[in-house]
Chains A and B, each alone.
Chain A
Amino acid sequence: DQQVKQNSPSLSVQEGRISILNCDYTNSMFDYFLWYKKYPAEGPTFLISISSIKDKNEDGRFTVFLNKSAKHLSLHIVPSQPGDSAVYFCAASLVYGQNFVFGPGTRLSVLP
């Protein structure tokens, strides 16, 4: 049973609009979360993180929101650009853990 779920395998958005990628987790002990972006034939690259003491973290066009009671986090990209087209992975861990549990990924396509 997957502990980290990304229920939308794919998402298409028009350039300039907001992209919202969602992630749900089942383990209430998770307290540190990451988003990675992955282009074809490349390894994942770190995008943004959030710890459970916060409910929002921003980095430029990227904002991650955490709703602990719902065990849900989301990544907002505003405005979306064609170069944002990639697979986005959500990952969760204990802060004092060693490893992450990754979701299956959501493929984002930003259309010009």
Chain B
Amino acid sequence: NAGVTQTPKFQVLKTGQSMTLQCAQDMNHNSMYWYRQDPGMGLRLIYYSASEGTTDKGEVPNGYNVSRLNKREFSLRLESAAPSQTSVYFCASTPRGGTVTDTQYFGPGTRLTVL
């Protein structure tokens, strides 16, 4: 099992460009999450998908869109990148979802720089 995979690992964008961060899990997990981590701050939830076909906003959703393509894949799109979106992005999944007692498994992260 690869667990949770994310592509790309690194990306540099110019302000106004768009891009999609990809995430896939091969553990048959129900719920998937996107976080961002900024220096001096903890992980902050951007969006999550409790189950295939559903998505919900987290703490910091502005400037992002998501798609739960199928049970395995959950993508994060930046339509018009801004320097404030420079961050490390983590995708995570949980077996059942719907409860915080469900262990989250994280991908290795995507380091995004917006110039």
CA distance A91 to B100 in the complex (A): 11
Interface extent on B, as a size class?
20 to 34
The stretch of A13-21, A71-79, A95-103 that contacts the partner chain: A95-103
* CB proximity to B under 8 Å, residues A28-63: 32, 41-46, 49, 51
* CB proximity to A under 8 Å, residues B47-106: 48, 50, 56, 58-59, 90, 92, 98-101, 103-106
> Is the pair B106, A95 in contact by a Cβ cutoff of 8 Å?
no
CA distance A91 to B33 in the complex (A): 15
> Is the pair A46, B41 in contact by a Cβ cutoff of 8 Å?
no
Tell me the count of chain A residues lying within 8 A, CB to CB, of chain B.
27
From DSSP, what is the main secondary structure of chain B's interface residues? loop
CA distance A51 to B99 in the complex (A): 13
CA distance A42 to B44 in the complex (A): 17
CA distance A99 to B59 in the complex (A): 9
A44-B90 contact given A91-B42, A102-B44, CB 8 Å threshold:
yes
15 sampled A-B residue pairs with Cβ under 8 A: A4-B42, A43-B90, A43-B92, A43-B107, A43-B108, A44-B90, A45-B106, A46-B104, A96-B99, A98-B48, A98-B50, A98-B100, A101-B42, A103-B42, A104-B42
Top 9 nearest A-B pairs (CB, nearest first) are: A102-B42, A43-B106, A93-B100, A102-B43, A46-B103, A44-B106, A103-B42, A99-B45, A43-B107
B positions within 8 Å CB-CB of A: 4, 40-45, 48, 50, 56, 58-59, 90, 92, 98-101, 103-109
